[in-house]
Homo-oligomer: A and B are copies of this chain.
């Protein structure tokens, strides 16, 4: 959307509209889980373009839209860049410990698979 002032807004679910099913679906994709792990490790918002996922631009856009529409990330424009941050507070309020549990599981799996070579 572009209004007359040139600002654009992106649709996000309110906290109360976030559903576990959608959050799990969003995190069940390895590429999206990778994005979420990076966002979790980062102190600051990250531009979509900073991730350089090994997929096309339109697929990258799709993945970020799924993350936004599920309530996992909040996106806003800064100039032409779409910036992303994890909705940690919202997820923690709804599902205490869930995000950290999934991040820990992802880290455990990565370590295990690396050890197996």
Q: CB-CB < 8 A to A30: which residues of B?
A: 21
| In the assembled complex, A114 has its CB within 8 A of some CB on chain B | no
A30 to B19, CA, bound (A): 10
A104 to B101, CA, bound (A): 12
| In the assembled complex, A106 has its CB within 8 A of some CB on chain B | yes
Which residues A70-84 have CB closer than 8 A to chain B?
A: none
| In the assembled complex, A102 has its CB within 8 A of some CB on chain B | yes
Task: Point out the residue from B16, B97, B106, B116 that lies within 8 Å of A20, measured CB to CB.
Answer: B106
In the complex the two chains form, is B97's CB within 8 Å of A24's CB?
A: no
A74 to B104, CA, bound (A): 24
Given contacts A24-B27, A25-B28, A112 and B94 within 8 Å (CB-CB): yes
Q: CB-CB < 8 A to A106: which residues of B?
A: 20
A residues in contact (CB < 8 Å) with B: 16, 19-21, 24-25, 27-30, 33, 94-98, 101-102, 104-106, 108-109, 112, 116
